[in-house]
Structure 1
């Protein structure tokens, strides 16, 4: 059985809640990713996505110098590195999200896993296909 740690990306950047939306967008652009955990070191307090920046910030007229804290999602859905890919796919389906922060047994951030990681690395695509279908279904 493959676990989340088999497919996760361990090169994770964390952004401060006091950083600006402009800085977050630059990190996303430069790193070619669409999500940043928010916190200090491995203590997560939120998550910000490229979609959060557009839908919560830009669409609401927030300035690019607005702190990340004002646009981030505080409800963090995460997965343990030892969880199965099926469990992670189920979480993604249930919450209609494409990326999950990955924590260790002590709840410290150790990676990020995306639906794309499953598709590239997983030997069983059934959970991925089901998760993607559920994620893509409008609520």
Structure 2
């Protein structure tokens, strides 16, 4: 477990990140979520990250509320990522400790977090699965010690 405390995002993040534009429709997002099985896509406009769209944001459009009538499915599927994305989102840097990432994920119930450089450019994503892999890697030696 001591090894895990020293690990940073850079070692475990996904570097090839799939992004979407502000204009991508809910219908297209639905297909992307199904084919890629990603939890979230950074939303970019002219190579700048302007938001984050998650599976939760997608599903939230279909939730029934007392104050709104339910639009037709076809109308909802024509909405765009910019209509449903999170404009203010949590991100981390490549040198952020994984223990901090884990804390953020638990505290805010996040499945993945964008990794940005000092100039606010997207350089990767860190997901729950990445943290779990780091824990496995770092505790493997601890298990051998006790066997």
User: How does the TM-score come out when normalised to structure 1?
Assistant: 0.80
Q: Which protein, 1 or 2, shows the higher relative CO under an 8 Å CA cutoff with sep ≥ 6?
A: 2
Cα distance in structure 2, aligned partners of 1:41 and 1:12: 16
Q: After TM superposition, what 4+ stretches of structure 1 lie above 6 angstroms from structure 2?
A: none
Q: Does 1:21 align with 2:26?
A: yes
Contact 2:8/2:97 (<8 A) preserved: yes
Please state how far the C-alpha of 1:33 moved relative to its aligned partner.
1.1
Change (3 A) 1:41 1:88: farther
**Are the counterparts in 1 of residues 39 and 111 from structure 2 also a CA contact under 8 Å?**
no
- Distance (whole Å) between structure 2 residues aligned to residue 70 and residue 100 of structure 1: 20
Cα drift, residue 41 of structure 1: 5.5
Q: Unpaired segments of 5 or more residues in structure 1?
A: 126-139
Q: Is the 8 A contact 1:14 1:40 kept in 2?
A: no
- For this pair of structures, how many residues does the alignment match? 124
TM-score, normalised to structure 2's length?
0.76
Give the conservation status (yes or no) of the 8 Å contact 1:92–1:99.
yes
* Closer, same or farther: CA 42–8 of 1 in aligned 2, 3 Å: farther
- Residue 8 of structure 1 aligns with which residue? 13
User: For residues 106 and 17 of structure 1, what CA distance do their matches in structure 2 show?
Assistant: 21
